[in-house]
Amino acid sequence: MNIKNEVLYRVYGVTVLFLIYGFLILGKVVKISFVEGDYWVSKSDSLYLKYEKIDAQRGNILASDGSFLATSLPYYDIRFDLNAAGLTKEIFDLHVDSLAYRLVEHVDNRYTVGGMKEMLVRERNKGQKYLLIKRNVTHEELELYKTFPIFRRGQFKGGFIYEKKAIRGKPYGMLAHRTVGYVRKDAKPVGLEGYFNDVLSGEEGKRLVQRVSNKEYMPVSDLADIQPHKGKDVKTTLDVNIQDAAQSALMRGMLKHNAQSGSAIVMDVKTGAIKAIANLGVKKDGDLWEKYNYAIGTRIEPGSVFKLASVMALFEEGYSTDTPVFIGKGKHEFYDQLMIDSGKESFLYDSLSLRKAFEISSNVGIASTISKHFGEPGSSSWRTKNAKFIAYLEQFGLDLPTNIEIEGEAVPYIKDPLDVKDEWSGTTLPWMSIGYETLFTPLQMLNFYNTVANDGKMMKPYLVSEIQEDGEWVQSFKPVVVKKKIASKETIAKAKKLLAGVVESGTANALMTKKYDFAAKTGTAQLDYSKKAERLKHRATFVGFFPVENPIYSCIVTITDPKKLGIYGGEVAGPIFREIADNCYATNVDLKKNVADFRKPIIKNDKLPVNSKGKLEDYERLNEFLDFKIEKEYKSDDWVYLKSSQDTLLLKGQDIVSNIIPNVKGMGLRDAIHVLENMGLKVIVRGTGKVYRQSIKPGTKARRQRITLNLG
């Protein structure tokens, strides 16, 4: 083979190889272009374009009158595309000075106008297309920014980009904060926001966005490809006025007694609708806040307020309010534990009527009667007899959760004498009968009292009345009857009578008012009775309903660990209950009596304006105006009082000794405070009108004590 042929073969070989590679490349191009074209185009686009979800505007949570408890407020993030297609160099250079001036004036005054201009020019030269101007701009601010130079040209000609978002707001601040709740990323949903999240959240939308940096995407246009659909509104049963009164009263009470936590609930007796639910706890910095829903999520030993269930079990067994019960002068040993009454009145008696034992909240009286009737240790089948008492508690519905529309309700705990795991002992029944060794939430205990107020019909407590869309209801929630009757008609009537007696002549007597009547029970539970602690802790409870004859509202107040100015339910939780009830009466026309319902006064001698006390100069001035026939029996006394003699009024002098507490009954508030505070006493006032009761007896030596005056 000559050299010429060898060269030709090599050229042919190389040519064939090139042709083969050419055909392979051509085949790959054809495959990519026509077979896999759509795939690679989408793959390319995905590096720069993608669909981003748009959260729907969240529905509102409303009070019973339609006012907002929680709503989504519109805010905007403002961005600047300095290299927008329609933003030419000529336009930018012409208006950048004016824009810099407006931005410094209204957006960021940390810059000088010159510094702001330099920053904008620098970012434009860097190719910036998504410069953050300001976050969380209000709608009013947005409308202002739209008028700025360059920005007024819009997104494509002026680079002005605004992204709408919603921030959840609560117009009433802390009011019902925990009950309304929240939904947060990486946190368990809370309250109504969490329970009705699917209803409130709506349907999300989608929009196309373009990548402008490794982590940032900007919308391609102002319009979404799929528009979001707003969530529905949830209308609650909460009354803003009652809620505010409950929370304010609870806060004042907790601050006064330096308490650890507390809750207050107001319920509509007939329907079970929750009108107010307030919870307060102490934060690390010492401030009070609704940090946990104690009313629904915390099981507690109820203390003496549980005694109502105990006496109702006795009524069902045939006991009457006049049945004599053992008191033992306030002390009695059950099995191997000594029980002592907290009230001194018990120490005077060996026995009392069941009614009186309940009114003074005698632990021994209730526990001894329950223990004797339902089986004491040592008697035959005593556990089976104990189980009969538990059966009554279940009959009363105390074993049932309320199933309120909030996650996290604690389940009631009642021991079973026939269950080994419950560690039933000889002391369990007597201690359970007075509110220990059993657990309920405040709402569950209120529901029991509400049932008594409702003549034995148990209603399901509920917080939501309607689901609304665009102002029209799409779903309504009606009152639900849980049990038509928890006890006999006679038992319920006796129970109501007992609760009214607690206020009239029992442990809640100091809270009684002439303006309206209410029925209630006080309760005080020792939190660490089984431990040896340096300082005993207590929980004060006050629960009841009003008015007595035709109850409209029931209410419970629970205060945990009050550290000063008292520990008992009547002195710690009771005044908070009374303040809430006062507000309800002041604002609810249905609670007020018609003038025709009041008994007409009978004018006779003992109805003259006697026992009225005050300054001498005030009575002399009044007598000049009215020209009454008043005989005077005083010398030069500063203080006088009126006394009747047949059909004549006597104006007599009253001696006020500087260090002896006087009788101020009949005085107006101004005069009573003047006299008592001048003696160094601290005066606590309840009610309005004239003084009709004072907590310290006249004649007691004044030692800078606290004295409570009841007005009416």
pLDDT at 249: 95
Better-scored residue on pLDDT, 405 or 202: 405
> Please, how many CA atoms are within 13 Å of residue 410, restricted to the half-sphere of its CB?
20
> Please, how many CA atoms are within 13 Å of residue 285, restricted to the half-sphere of its CB?
4
Q: What value does the mean pLDDT take over residues 29-34?
A: 68
pLDDT at 295: 95
**Least confident range of 424-428, 439-443, 512-516, 618-622:** 618-622
Instruction: State yes or no: pLDDT of 612 exceeds 60.
Output: yes
Question: Of 246, 256, 245, 242, which Cα lies nearest the Cα of 278?
Answer: 246
Cβ-contact 475, 494 below 8 angstroms:
no
593 Cβ contact list (under 8 Å, min separation 6): none
pLDDT at 621: 66
Question: Of 494, 451, 490, 448, which Cα lies nearest the Cα of 355?
Answer: 494
Instruction: State yes or no: pLDDT of 343 exceeds 90.
Output: no
117 Cβ contact list (under 8 Å, min separation 6): 96, 97, 100
Cβ-contact 163, 217 below 8 angstroms:
no
Name the phi and psi angles at 711, rounded to 5: -105, 150
Better-scored residue on pLDDT, 423 or 56: 423
Rounded distance between C-alpha atoms, residue 72 and residue 361, angstroms? 50
Instruction: State yes or no: pLDDT of 470 exceeds 90.
Output: no
Confidence of residue 308 (pLDDT cuts 50, 70, 90): very high
Q: 3-class secondary structure for 543-599?
A: EEEECCCCCCEEEEEEEECCCCCCCCHHHHCHHHHHHHHHHHHHHCHHHCCCHHHCC
Better-scored residue on pLDDT, 710 or 511: 511
Q: CA torsion 131→136→140→145, rounded to 10°?
A: -10
Give how far Cα 448 sits from Cα of 30, 225, 312, 406, 458, Å.
81, 54, 12, 19, 8
What type of residue sits at position 335? Y
Confidence of residue 603 (pLDDT cuts 50, 70, 90): very low
Confidence of residue 626 (pLDDT cuts 50, 70, 90): low
251 Cβ contact list (under 8 Å, min separation 6): 280, 288
What is the CA 369 to chain-centroid distance, rounded? 37
pLDDT at 692: 80
pLDDT at 672: 81
pLDDT at 641: 64
Using alpha carbons only, give the angle 480, 484, 489 rounded to the nearest 5 degrees. Answer: 140
Confidence of residue 80 (pLDDT cuts 50, 70, 90): very high
Rounded distance between C-alpha atoms, residue 120 and residue 672, angstroms? 73
- The helix/strand/coil state of 64 is coil
pLDDT at 558: 97
Question: Of 195, 191, 193, 189, which Cα lies nearest the Cα of 178?
Answer: 191
Q: What value does the mean pLDDT take over residues 530-546?
A: 81
pLDDT at 681: 82
Instruction: State yes or no: pLDDT of 604 exceeds 50.
Output: no
Instruction: State yes or no: pLDDT of 602 exceeds 60.
Output: no
pLDDT at 555: 98
Rounded distance between C-alpha atoms, residue 337 and residue 529, angstroms? 12
Strands 337-340 and 331-334: antiparallel
Instruction: State yes or no: pLDDT of 34 exceeds 80.
Output: no
What type of residue sits at position 254? M
Q: What is the CA radius of gyration of the chain?
A: 38
Using alpha carbons only, give the angle 524, 461, 252 rounded to the nearest 5 degrees. Answer: 45
Cβ-contact 541, 302 below 8 angstroms:
yes
The H helix count followed by the E strand count for the chain is: 22, 31
pLDDT at 532: 55
What type of residue sits at position 168? R
Average pLDDT, the chain: 85
- Could you read off the pLDDT of 397-438 as tens digits, one per residue? 999 999 999 999 999 999 998 888 888 888 899 999 999 999
Handedness of CA 498, 504, 505, 509 (dihedral sign): positive
- Find residue 73's DSSP bridge partners: 167
Per the structure block, which two tokens stand in for 208?
């196309």
Better-scored residue on pLDDT, 154 or 529: 154
**Least confident range of 393-407, 441-455, 584-598:** 584-598
**Which of the listed ranges 320-324, 532-536, 608-612 does the model predict with the highest average pLDDT?**
320-324
Q: Which residue is listed with tokens 């004239």?
A: 690
Instruction: State yes or no: pLDDT of 263 exceeds 70.
Output: yes
What is the fold of 245-590? Beta-lactamase (3.40.710)
Q: What value does the mean pLDDT take over residues 447-453?
A: 98
What type of residue sits at position 229? H
pLDDT at 615: 67
**Which of the listed ranges 471-475, 562-566, 645-649 does the model predict with the highest average pLDDT?**
562-566
Confidence of residue 472 (pLDDT cuts 50, 70, 90): confident
Q: What is the CATH number of domain 52-236?
A: 3.90.1310.10
Instruction: State yes or no: pLDDT of 204 exceeds 80.
Output: no
Instruction: State yes or no: pLDDT of 78 exceeds 60.
Output: yes
Q: CA torsion 590→591→597→601, rounded to 10°?
A: -140
Instruction: State yes or no: pLDDT of 190 exceeds 70.
Output: yes
What is the CA 205 to chain-centroid distance, rounded? 35
Instruction: State yes or no: pLDDT of 545 exceeds 50.
Output: yes
Confidence of residue 596 (pLDDT cuts 50, 70, 90): low
Rounded distance between C-alpha atoms, residue 642 and residue 657, angstroms? 19
Instruction: State yes or no: pLDDT of 92 exceeds 60.
Output: yes
Q: What value does the mean pLDDT take over residues 265-290?
A: 92
For 2, counting Cβ atoms within 10 Å of its Cβ (0-12 exposed, 13-18 middle, 19+ buried), the class is exposed
pLDDT at 450: 98
**Least confident range of 167-171, 595-599, 657-661:** 595-599
Better-scored residue on pLDDT, 536 or 307: 307
Cβ-contact 329, 350 below 8 angstroms:
yes
Name the phi and psi angles at 465, rounded to 5: -100, -30
Q: What value does the mean pLDDT take over residues 456-462?
A: 97
Rounded distance between C-alpha atoms, residue 336 and residue 430, angstroms? 12
